[in-house]
Structure 1
Amino acid sequence: MRKLLNAALGACLAVAMTAGAANADAPGAAPHQRFDLGDFRLESGQVIEKGFLTYVTHGTLNEQRNNAILVLPSLMGTHHRHDFLIGPGKALDPGKYFIIAADTLGNGRAISPSNSETQPGPKFPQFSIRDMVDAQHRLVAEGLELDRLLAVVGLSMGGMQAYQWAASFPDEIAAVIPIVSMARTSPWVTAIWESQRQAIMADAAWAGGAYTEQPEKGLRAAAASLETWVRHWDWMDKEFTDNRQVVGWLNERTADAAKNWDANDFIYQTRAEDLHDIAKGGDYAEALARIQARALLMPGSQDLLHPPADSRFAARHIPRATLVEIDSDQGHMASGS
């Protein structure tokens, strides 16, 4: 899987380079940087007060200023989500590219319900994928003073943001690489997220989002559901020799989620996914056809969370799209970890 991802991404980035114009922090990791958004107005008209994004960079911007790549994490992921793709000889090689690994609205590092001083918890306004991208555009254009990106790369929800970049700023990116992602969220995906939100809200500790301690039981139930949906039965039935093993594995995974997740952040980010649609309710095929960037679409062949049918449809309508399916029995986790 990783070899396929590295090879496919590397090939796409090489083409874009020639064609384009103008979760824990390890010791020695790239230093965190912060970009202040101020009072950030959302597409709904609401305002996030004292907004900010956090990010790290790898590599050096070249003299032509045309080797910058923005990488965006999955749901509840951080700027470390793509670390397995970043490094010498890998697809995102700091020796070739200036890599901006950004945190997104609501992930607990950038401004979020969990860390807002003036709008904590349920007082935080609901944001969208489009709002995430508008904030990132401010970082790129104002904070880093870049007028064009070589590529935007993202896994899962990060891929949704990559699609939105291509739709919102068609003249400012050369390539877009959504991995196990969708250009609009389907009712199927929203139903999965809502089932997990309801699990959190059913915990008495949830307290309408105004909890003083995390609703651990609800979080663990939501995480158990998510861990199942991001896998595939072909992988799971081979991985575990008896049913007791899978129960133990789920208990370990959900305990980690309960330690690392914030319930409000999870709810807000999944609701941002619910709102995702690059066509804004209009003709989906036409919205895809307006994407000017080269597009490398990489769905998982057995992905249950983000089924590959959407990427196949997108590949038929984006003018310069290449479809590379990740043939894997790991479902959504075909994206790598």
Structure 2
Amino acid sequence: MKKLFIITLLLLVQSAYAQQRYYQIGDFQLENGQVLKDCKIGYRTFGKLNAGKSNAVLVPTWFTGTSQQKSFIANPSDIADSTKYFVIIVDALGNGVSSSPSNSVSQKDKLFPVVSIRDMVATQYKLVKEVLKINHLYAVTGISMGGMQSFQWMMSYPDFMDKVIPIIGSPKQSTYDKLYWNLQLNSIERGQYSAEAMKTINALHQLNLWTPSYREAHTNTEEYASYIKKIEDDALKLNAYDWATQLRAMINHDIFQGQKPEEAFAKVKAKVMIVVATQDHMVNPQAAIRFGKLLKAPIVELTGDCGHMATSCEGDKMRAHIKGFLD
């Protein structure tokens, strides 16, 4: 009972420090030479940084996700337990919170430059170093596009953290991934970023988020009309320009940059654990598995029929492995 009271008190205290914050970078030069004007990065922090600044865990957001949506990861029962770690959840460029086509003043919508996963990571590094004054992270971990950013951290700043845990991400997009993400991007562009285009995009997204067997088991054909209506209604809340920005970043994602994986392997300094969903129809797991074997890293395989959503369906299994690795 006493322990429960202490945890509840800690959560109440941390909530006061978990408000949305921003780091105003100013004009930021992207890796392609373009300039992102008045760049800002959104973030939230949970828990307390220890005296040695050795317990910081950075968590990048997933595709279109926000730090608010990702806050659960700092719960005492979750991966980055904020009673142990100082958790930094960062809004990735293009998510509508950090600099994005939807919130830019001078580069709105189509005027917004092309950003990469490496650019996202570079802004996160600046946040940690320049604002939070942390010179070394204990760990970096993220889900989906957050997993892609985690892989990039290994290459961009190999000495900056002790551990990296990419979760259902990929070090490089497969042909299947590129086909799927380009199908979404082309549909948005050909549909002129319209609401009608986003209805199609959201249906495509839901199609690959789960496996066919999961959808067949959980939505009978008599429910289809209400099911597709909800998908299309939800699409009206999506911003096509933000969506396209992060799609382009994922499509071009490749940590190897012309190197062979064996060459990239030599640059990795952190201890690595990789989590994949073997039935993932959204982020193909094979590149992550192959790179994990090169690194001789533990690979946690989520094998159920939830596909890309395996982290929800098999969350207990995943959390047990990751907590053991972190602790």
Q: State the alpha-carbon separation in 2 of the partners of residues 228 and 87 from structure 1.
A: 30
For the residue of structure 2 that corresponds to 1:287, the secondary structure is helix
- In the alignment, does 2:287 pair up with 1:303? no
Per the alignment, residue 14 of structure 1 pairs with: none
1:65 to 50, 53, 73: 53
Match of 2:300 in 1: 324
1:246 deviates by 3.6
Alpha-carbon spacing, 1:257–1:285, altered in 2? closer, same or farther (3 Å): farther
Give the alignment's TM-score, normalised by structure 2: 0.87
Residue matched to 1:176 = 164
User: Percent identity of the aligned residues?
Assistant: 34
User: 2:199 maps to which residue?
Assistant: 220
Equivalent residues of 1:219, 1:257 under 8 A apart: yes
Q: By how many angstroms is 1:70 displaced?
A: 0.6
C-alpha displacement at 1:327, in angstroms? 2.2
Letter of the structure 2 residue corresponding to residue 274 of structure 1: I
**How many Å separate the matches in 1 of 2:228 and 2:68?**
23
1:289–1:317 CA contact under 8 A, matched in 2: no
> What residue in structure 1 maps to residue 289 of structure 2?
312
- 1:125-157: CA deviation from partner (whole Å, max 9, x where unpaired): 101000000011000111111111111111111
Which ranges of structure 2 fall in alignment gaps of 5 or more residues? 1-14, 314-327
Q: Match for residue 215 of structure 2? A: 236
Look up the match of 1:8.
none
Compared CA separation, residues 94 and 330, structure 1 to 2 (3 A): same
- Check 1:289–1:255 CA distance in 2 against 1; reply closer, same or farther (3 A cut): farther
1:256 aligns with 2:272: no
In 2 relative to 1, CA 164–265 (structure 1 residues): closer, same or farther, beyond 3 Å? same
- Distance in 2 (CA, whole Å) between partners of 1:84 and 1:246 is 31
Corresponding residue to 1:128 among 107, 116, 126 = 116
- Given that 1:216 and 1:258 are in contact with CA atoms closer than 8 Å, whether structure 2 keeps it comes out as yes
Could you say which residue in structure 2 is the equivalent of 1:278? 255
Deviation of 1:81 after TM superposition, in Å, equals: 3.7
Indicate which of 114, 119, 132 corresponds to 2:107: 119
Q: Match for residue 290 of structure 1?
A: 267
Q: Specify the alignment match of 2:322 in structure 1.
A: none
Amino acid at match of 2:262: A
Q: Does 1:105 align with 2:82?
A: no
The Cα of 1:94 is off from its aligned counterpart by: 1.0
Maintained 8 Å contact 1:74/1:81: no
Match of 2:32 in 1: 44
Q: Deviations over 1:309-330 (max 9, x none)?
A: 22210111125x1100112211
Q: In 1, Cα distance between the equivalents of 2:202 and 2:75?
A: 30
- Offset of 1:243 from its aligned partner? 1.6
Contact 1:159 1:178 in 2 (8 A): yes
Q: Does the aligned pair in 2 maintain the 1:278–1:284 contact within 8 Å?
A: no
User: How far did residue 286 of structure 1 move?
Assistant: 2.2
CA contact (8 A) 2:91 2:98 kept: yes
Question: 2:143 — aligned with what?
Answer: 155
**Aligned 8 A contact 1:200 1:217 in 2:** no
Look up the SS of the partner of 2:301 in the other structure. Answer: coil
Alpha-carbon shift at residue 250 of structure 1 (Å)? 3.1
1:152–1:63 distance in 2 versus 1, CA, 3 Å:
same
Whole-Å separation in 2 of the counterparts to 1:336 and 1:29: 27
1:76-87 correspondence runs (5 A): 76-87=64-75
Q: Deviations over 1:212-268 (max 9, x none)?
A: xxx21100100100111111012111112x323244223213322321x21011111
The DSSP-based 3-state class of the residue aligned with 2:273 is strand
**TM-score w.r.t. length of structure 1:** 0.85
C-alpha separation in 2, matches of 1:85 and 1:221: 31
Q: Is residue 68 of structure 2 the alignment partner of residue 92 of structure 1?
A: no
| Alignment of structure 1 residues 197-208 onto 2, 5 Å | 197-203=185-191, 206=192
The structural deviation recorded for 1:28 is 7.1
Give 2:7's aligned residue: none
Any conservation in 1 of the 2:109–2:241 contact (CA below 8 Å)?
A: yes
Asked if structure 1 preserves the Cα contact closer than 8 Å seen for 2:73 and 2:80, the reply is: yes
- Cα distance in 1 for partners of 2:42, 2:152 equals 20
Q: Deviations for 1:143-190, whole angstroms, at most 9, x for unmatched residues?
A: 111111111111111111011011110110111111111001122112
- CA shift at 1:29, angstroms? 8.3
Alignment of 1:5-16 (within 5 A): none
Q: Which amino acid aligns with 1:124?
A: F
